[in-house]
Structure 1
Amino acid sequence: MTSHVAIAQADVEVRRLTVDDLDLFREIRAEALQKYPQTFGSPEEDEGGEAMLMAYRHWLSGTILGAFESGSLIGVAGLHVSPYKRSQHRGQIFTVYVRENDQGKGVGDRLIKEILAHAEARVEQVHLAVLLTATAAIKIYKRNGFEVYGTDPGAIRIGDITYDQYLMMKKFIR
């Protein structure tokens, strides 16, 4: 018997986004920022305009995977590897987001698996930060071999409210 998750994953295409996907990326990123401002945001996005577009173009010249269903971008996950020699053994996963209507279908898990496969060829370990309250995301990360190695208290502040983050890491066995 085929599960609902297996069917959903089979209908989803995951590919690397490019600068040609800028409008699609802007749209999904705007949704993530609007729905979860405590999770997403960068100084360039705070500034908006051309600074934000330049940041997005730069991000898209790196590694951001997109999950597509019927031609629509429904999820993203990015990987950053430092250009600095002393930290090139580490990757940082960022901007992981799946649209609300597509959550619970295995799309986030698939994006993490695919970004990890890409990362394993390039780095020895991968890091990420996630809000303590993001229990569904934490379950996906743990299922894919991430472990909590610390807590960053008050990592994010919006107005008078602060949010704590778990720092998580996965080492690749070689």
Structure 2
Amino acid sequence: MTLHSAIAQAEVEIRRLTVDDLEIFREIRAEALQKHPQTFGSPEEDEGGDAMLTAYRRWLGSMVLGAFGCGSLIGIAGFYVSADKRTRHRGHIYTVYVTENSRGRGVGDRLIRELLTHAEACVEQVHLDVLTTATAAIRTYRRNGFEVYGTDPRAVRFGNAMYDKHLMVRRFSQ
């Protein structure tokens, strides 16, 4: 880690987002959807309006972390535990996004490490999926102990393009 990145990391605050953060969460999601539509999106966001806002409120009622730098939200990452009692030993990371001008400063690593600290107290393993073309994200996940255990071919269709997803897992020692 360079001195510049260490200073940059020190200037970033990570905290749990709440429904009071709905507007800034909506803004960063809009950026993610606009810049990487093949990666981000949900049926509620496709519908827009009240359905989207209801989904955002539900997400913010669970575990979504925000990274703040210079007073602005520059990154997000969510975590949830499977609802089914047979799979409650599994957690899931979703909606990880760092603004383009904040990348390369360790923000994604910090968000993932914070989620993993939370997750280790309540699950045995954490899963996520990531487009195989998202090489920087894959490197971040690998640095944080995730490994690819499968590939979901043609998992996403955006327009005429098809994208594969890697399925990744991070197991906690038992």
SS at match of 2:127: strand
Which residues in structure 2 correspond to 1:11-160 (within 5 Å)? 11-160=11-160
- 1:51-98 Cα shifts (integer Å, max 9, x gaps): 000000000000000000122100000001122211110001000000
Task: Report the aligned-residue RMSD.
Answer: 1.1
Amino acid at match of 1:122: C
Counterpart residue type for residue 72 of structure 2: S
Residues 111-170 of structure 1 deviation map (CA, whole Å, 9 limit, x = unaligned): 111111111111000000011111111111001100000000111001111100100000
Q: TM-score, normalised by structure 2?
A: 0.98
In 2, Cα distance between the equivalents of 1:4 and 1:165? 33
Unaligned runs of 5+ in 2: none
Q: Secondary structure at the residue paired with 2:75?
A: strand
Identity across the alignment (%): 71
SS at match of 1:112: helix
Amino acid aligned to 2:130: V
> How many pairs were matched up?
174
Deviations 1:33-57 (A, max 9, x none): 0000010000000000000000000
AA matched with 1:102: S
Structure 2 CA distance for partners of 1:148 and 1:2, relative to 1, 3 Å: closer
1:10 corresponds in structure 2 to: 10
